[in-house]
Amino acid sequence: MIDDIDRQIILLLQEDAHLSNAALAEKVGLTVSTVHERVKKLEKKGVIKGYVAVVNAEAVGKPIMAFIRLTVGATPEGYVETKRSVMEVCRTEPDVLECHGVAGEDCYILKVRTASPKELERLLEKIRSKATVSSSVTSIVLSTFKESSPIVPCSHDRPEDNHLYSK
């Protein structure tokens, strides 16, 4: 179970994954060794899945961001194979940043980054050739106001207090 201290640690690490155990300990009011143990437990439980660097996509030559909505055409018997083919393209294609299976009109939504519209076209052709896609809709992002924010852990014992952890 995640307590209030774990929630604080999770929020602090999402703001700055470079925080040392000493800095975390100072902010949450515990000893360095206790914070270290808590972080290791959160990692072991899979609550903290990893640490990443947030990269400026334009600075590394990938200024085009788009969302691709896919509808796959498969019979119920062939759906598993179609799902595998979509997953395989997403795993092997570095320009696919995220792939979400969704309920509703579409089957999948992909978030992609490419170097140019021509590269986006190439990616779409590759996706369509490897997966049984019955339709796709691509939306190119013109500007981004908010791309990521911390996930605020729920307080299972006091769900009414969850608003206290939001910014």
The CATH number assigned to the domain holding 64 equals 3.30.70.920
Same domain, 22 and 79: no
| Domain finish residue from 31, 53, 75 | 53
CA atoms within 13 A on the CB side of 73: 8
Same domain, 44 and 63: no
pLDDT single digits (tens) 13-28: 999 999 999 999 999 9
Our CA dihedral for 145, 147, 153, 159, rounded to 10 degrees, sits at 40
Partners of 138 in the β-ladder: 68
Same domain, 88 and 73: yes
pLDDT single digits (tens) 12-66: 999 999 999 999 999 999 999 999 999 999 999 999 999 988 899 999 999 999 9
Q: Is 144 exposed, middle or buried (0-12, 13-18, 19+ CB in 10 A)?
A: exposed
Range of the domain at 46: 4-53
Same domain, 94 and 68: yes
Same domain, 27 and 80: no
Other CB atoms within a 10 A radius of the CB of residue 5 amount to 15
* Number of domains observed in the structure of the chain: 2
- How much is the pTM? 0.81
C-alpha span between 25 and 3 (Å, rounded): 15
Same domain, 70 and 132: yes
Q: Which of 94, 92, 128, 138 is nearest to 113 (CA)?
A: 94
Same domain, 62 and 122: yes
Q: What are phi and psi of 125, to 5 degrees?
A: -65, -40
